[in-house]
Structure 1
Amino acid sequence: MRLLAGLSQKSLARRIGCNTSYVSKMECGAVPPTVDFARLADDALRAGGDLVDRWQTWYELRRRGDAGRQTAVSEAINVETASTTLLVTHERTTLSFDGDAYAITVLRELENRTERSYNGYEVRIHVDAFPDDVERSRVHHRAHPLVWDHLGFRCWWAPMMSDLDPRKPGAGPTIELVADPTQTVTDKMIEGWIRFEGKRYGELLTLHPGRRLALMYSYTVSSTQWGTWYQRRMRVPTRRLDVELDFPQGLRTLVWGKAITAGDRIGPLGSQIDEHTENGRSIWSWTNGKPEFGDRYRFEWRFGNPPSRQPEEHR
């Protein structure tokens, strides 16, 4: 990536604030990578999160491989208590389909375990109408790219997660925040930045060390851009993850899922996906009380009575 960016080791070292010999040792594997280095190099090389993802994969494989060796355990990084990252104490995501578009709402309670203050939070939105067919997906999304202004993205701040109600955005002690796109990574992926700044009155909010806050954000994606799947990757240490998938009962939806480890091993979710009906809706719920850092939890579904509008009509 450094060579593709046209940078020397000295130039990269200057950009991320370390010495040239450290960059050299990192590249040849003489020293173990750190998450701070991965983040700084990712930003300097405009890698779009790929270097951080690679560090997470490396760390998870190392952690699991060393689990039985006491010496390695004593030296291992405790991701949850590390001073380099935020902690998500609880995340609750709802995906709702009306036959034409998917509405996604994410609630996160954040705890600042670092030694610095935060004035914003990064989000990543990724869609794929045909995740199992790379070429078809590329052609389709080039004609139907993901556009920030079409998402209707909105976000809110509250002191506690219980203050946020996805059915009543803006109700209670909440403040609507400002959000901006930071880069369009591909035709299927956009990164954005939630500013801890009130949209109406311009309040400046900060997440200080040792403090918590709750965020809620929502957006809508057309069914021409979204396939029959939803996935959460644990990019931030998370204590609890709740996922709810909400469909019209008339679609006769069947939902299943799988867990994919950082080493790309596929296995069961570990707990059952429960279904119940409510007001003509089929609601599928799943909870993980201890999601693994770096793992992916993927949900897929099939409609027994599919809606008339499907991505195939827009090939």
Structure 2
Amino acid sequence: MTDDLSGRTAFADALARLRTSRGLNKKTLARMMGFDPSYVSHVENGRHRPTCEFAARADAVLQTNGELAAAFDAFLAETQTQEGPSPRTTRAAARMRAGLVVRREDSQLTLTEDGYYHIRILRDVHNAGDQPVTRFPVRIDVDAHPADPHLSRRFYRDNPVTLTELGFRATFDGEPSRWELVEDRDAYKKIYVWFEPGGLPAPIYPGRSATIVCSYRVHATKWGNWFEREIRWPTEQLSVHLRFPAGVEVSLTGREVTWSGDRKLPSPPTAAIRDGVTDFSWSTNVPPLTNQYHFDWQLAA
């Protein structure tokens, strides 16, 4: 195998240049990509070889229109053997969707008469990568006082959200599935949903699809008057439903949060009253990676 140093250096230089031109530091880019900051630093400094997944995510987050993918192709070309190109030289641009792809996400938040927000998130996922996938990470993040971080920390220190009160449940293709709490803070939970319906492992193999549904509840006093969806996987369709008792007056606003700043939603939510519930619905197709869609409301009886 030939020395890959020059190709690796060219990719690192392109990554650093594009990152800087977007006004991002390494830590911010790493967060947007879902990588450890030290890994981004090592790639830029030439200490680590970039992977296809790393190149694909960086290309998508930085919106380089394939420039980083092409630099990654050039890097891979230098890793070929004397017998011919390595199987890994598949074009990075063609593997932009490597790993799980969310075909459809349907997120629902419902305020019920008992004072709880009930959250249900359905994802139809497809494995577009070349390795089986065995779990899916879920994050639960609440903030009753987003405008005052100090007050929020103090509030949740005295009133933590507990796993018991969440009543978390998960299903895999309609069957209850095992889950594991991996991070537990006062106002934040991270959970792994294992693909084990009925207690039996059922990995999503390359080319296969499945439906994952997660549900939980948080009392309104602990949740806060907001709901947000962050695009952390390539997503083809996102829909959001915010449901309130019809007798409650709701003033709802929404915005799209991108790395370049906030802006209005491409289209406003629409409202419809059915069975005593006001349902505010909103949807979008092919939302960009790392975008956040944030909804705020005020309630009045």
Aligned-pair Cα RMSD in Å:
3.4
Cα distance between partner residues in 2 of 1:80 and 1:154: 36
Secondary structure of the residue aligned to 1:225 is helix
- Asked whether the equivalents of residues 14 and 71 of structure 2 are also in contact (C-alpha less than 8 Å), the reply is no
Alignment of 1:8-87 (within 5 A): 32=15, 41=36, 62-63=62-63, 66=64, 72=67, 75=70, 81-82=95-96, 84-87=98-101
Counterpart in 2 of 1:117? 132
Matched, 1:181 2:178: no
Match of 1:106 in 2: 121
**Whole-angstrom CA distance in 1 between matches of 2:292 and 2:193:** 23
Partners of 2:13 and 2:105 in 1: CA distance:
37
Q: Whole-Å Cα distance in 2 between the matches of residues 43 and 94 of structure 1?
A: 36
Q: Structure 2: which amino acid aligns with 1:178?
A: R
Q: Which amino acid aligns with 1:122?
A: P
The 2-side partners of 1:148 and 1:80 are apart by 41
Following the alignment from structure 2 to structure 1, what is the Cα–Cα distance between the partners of residues 56 and 68? 17
Offset from partner CA, 1:3-40 (integer Å, 9 cap, x none): xxxxxxxxxxxxxxxxxx9xxx9xxx7573898xx767
Change (3 A) 1:284 1:56: farther
1:109 is paired with a residue of what secondary structure? strand
Identity of aligned residues (%): 25
Displacement of 1:278 in angstroms is 0.8
- What is the 5 A alignment of 1:151-190? 151-158=166-173, 174-184=174-184, 186-190=185-189
What does 1:270-289 correspond to in 2, within 5 Å?
270-289=266-285
Give the secondary structure class of the aligned counterpart of 1:287: strand
- Deviation of 1:83 (Å): 5.8
> Paired residue for 1:290, among 286, 292, 298?
286
Higher relative contact order (CA 8 A, sep 6+): 1
Counterpart residue identity of residue 156, structure 2: H
* Unpaired segments ≥5 residues, structure 2: 17-28, 40-54, 73-91
List alignment gaps of at least 5 residues for structure 1.
1-20, 45-54, 159-173, 306-315
Structure 1 counterpart SS, 2:293: strand
* Corresponding residue number in structure 1 for 2:298: 302
The structure 1 residue matched to 2:217, chosen from 189, 197, 220, is: 220
1:134 lines up with 2:149 in the alignment: yes
The equivalent residue for 1:207 is: 204
* CA distance 1:86–1:43, change in 2 (3 Å): farther
Partners of 1:231 and 1:136 in 2: how far apart?
Answer: 21
The yes-or-no answer on 1:90 pairing with 2:87 is no
TM-fit CA distance, 1:62: 2.8
Query: Is the 1:97–1:248 Cα contact (8 Å) retained in structure 2?
Result: yes
Give 2:236's match in structure 1, choosing from 231, 236, 239.
Answer: 239
- How many residue pairs get matched? 248
Structure 1 residues 83, 236: CA separation in 2 closer, same or farther (over 3 Å shift)?
Answer: closer
Deviation track 1:253-306 (CA, whole Å, cap 9, x = no partner) reads: 12110001023x11011012000101111110001012111100001111122x
Contact 1:82–1:114 at 8 Å: present in 2 too? no
Q: Residue in 1 aligned with 2:21?
A: none
Return closer, same or farther for 1:61/1:241 CA change in 2, 3 Å cut-off.
closer
Q: TM-score, normalised by structure 1?
A: 0.70
Q: 1:171-202: CA deviations, max 9, x gaps?
A: xxx21111110112x3211100111112xx42
SS at match of 1:214: strand
Residues 213-253 of structure 1: CA deviation (Å, up to 9, x unaligned): 11111000111211100001101110100000000111111
Q: Secondary structure at the match of 2:155?
A: helix
CA distance in 2, matches of 1:136, 1:85: 39
Q: Identify the residue that residue 190 of structure 2 maps to in structure 1.
A: 191
Change (3 A) 1:82 1:142: same
**What is the one-letter code of the residue matched to 1:143?**
D
1:75 deviates by: 2.7
Q: CA deviation at 1:58?
A: 6.6
